[in-house]
Copies of this chain bind each other. A is one copy, B any other.
Amino acid sequence: MREADVVVVGGSAAGLTAAITARRHYPQKKALVVRSEEKVLIPCGIPYIYGTVGSPDKNLIPDAALEKNEIELLKTTATGIDRENKVLKTEAGDVKYDRLIVATGSKPVVPPVPGMDKPGIFTIKKEIPYLTELQKKLADAKDVVIIGGGFIGIEFADEINKIGGKNVTVVELQQHCLSLAYDDEFCAEMEKNVAERGVNISCSAKVSEIKGDGPFTVVIEGGSEITAEVVILGIGAKANTDIAVSAGLEIGPTGGIAVDRAMKTSDDNIFACGDCAEKVSFFGGKPSRLKLASIATLEARIAGANLFGLRRESPGTVGAWSTAVGGLAMGTAGLTEASAKAQGYEVVTAAAEGPNRHPGCMPDAVVTKVKLVFEKGSGVLLGGQVRGDASCGEVVNEISAFVQRKMTAEDIAMFQSGTHPALTASPIAYALVNAAEMAAGKMRSA
């Protein structure tokens, strides 16, 4: 029988990182990754297949990291777990493990709306043949509807629009696109940006039915209809727990595999990480539905380190991520003002903006705007949002660091940032620090 000290089911961001971490922490242990995919897609890169990058084959997580870290790879489908005998069942036969890491990811959500499960209506599956099929359908389509205006929806819409000659519409249930990640003023700016690039955006629009068999008619509650040859669902994902459920592992309140802060499941020899695992929030430890590759890799670094002894515990998910459409980038970390209030926090917020170069006539200067959300009383940062150019992808990580270290408005007002004329705002106009200073002022006068 094939065997390894550490067997990982799943070869995407979580599985790969867990295996690498296991090898780093326990170099004497043999590690094996079992995955069903011939090649593994970069999950966040999927929208870019359709415009910027050009094909699924250009959007792959390279297998080189497996070889470099001396991790064995078995391409087959896992079918079950014999926990008593510590054996992973696969289509290629049994694999004995000492420790098992389940990193089976997620599956697209398909809401119970009449017609939404029709063949020909696409979800965002992380499968090359499926996504290639979508690419073929898009080539001939004139009208495309994307249901769901989150990151994936917005990014898909813009990329498909880049192909040219298409009429692309995003249909979003909420009042704004991206509203789980940003406060309204940021959402509105991104919507305007995407609309100006030629994408139709329809918010507060609930799909009540999808009629036809291609072309489809998307029926919006209230009566309006949009016809499209291609309909894509980008509504979200749910934990893929099939193998865990069949093995009798406990499932958590949001439907993920139940894990403790060490990422250990209800079986002492089995860990879980990534989209398939249950999560708790950094803010108060309540169950969290966030699913991000960056969270998956953190959990993988925890699971991989803890396999043969407790070394790391999850502080809960902060949630830091970013997006970019055209020249406009936005990032968010932690709680928005709206989500903080919804969770019962009393908050003090402040926003500051300024050019991201100094002087403002330096090339590539755009306005960076930062909004920070603090807990009233403690003054601790709960979250922040930023808009500007590509650097926002890293500004949001500064904010994430501030959140994770529970910094107060006063602490951030005292932050020592490096600045440069060609790279950042001036030290006088550095928006992050100024927003904190303004919030600190509001707290003093409150």
Contact = CB atoms under 8 A, between A and B. Distances in A.
Contacts of A404: 415-416
Contacts of A427: 13, 17, 293-294, 296-297
Given A21-B437, A392-B423, A428-B297, A416 B359 contact: no
A426 B319 CA distance: 15
Interface residues of A, number: 84
B401 A419 contact: no
B424 A394 contact: yes
A297 B423 CA distance: 18
Contact of A24 (B312, B358, B441): B441
B420 A321 contact: yes
A42 B438 CA distance: 23
Interface in A306-336: 312, 315, 317-324, 329, 331-333
Contacts of A430: 297
A48 to B, nearest CB: 6
B44 A294 contact: no
A95 interface: no
Interface string A384-421: 00000011111111101110110100100111111111
Given A401-B398, A416-B400, A418-B400, A424 B13 contact: no
A108 to B, nearest CB: 19
Given A391-B393, A393-B391, A44 B417 contact: no
Interface stretch (A54-62, A134-142, A223-231): A54-62
Interface stretch (A114-122, A190-198, A360-368): A360-368
B42 A359 contact: yes
Contacts of A391: 390-391, 393-394
A396 B418 contact: yes
A168 B395 CA distance: 36
A59 B437 CA distance: 26
A301 interface: yes
Contacts of A315: 414
Contact of A397 (B25, B297, B417): B417
A417 B437 contact: no
Contacts of A255: none
A294 B417 contact: yes
Nearest to A325: B422
A53 interface: yes
Nearest to A60: B359
A80 interface: no
Interface string A252-289: 00000000000000000000000000000010000000
A52 interface: yes
A438 B42 CA distance: 23
21 contacts: A17-B428, A42-B359, A44-B426, A48-B362, A52-B362, A293-B427, A301-B413, A301-B437, A312-B410, A312-B414, A320-B416, A320-B418, A322-B419, A324-B423, A329-B420, A390-B423, A392-B423, A393-B422, A394-B424, A397-B417, A400-B415
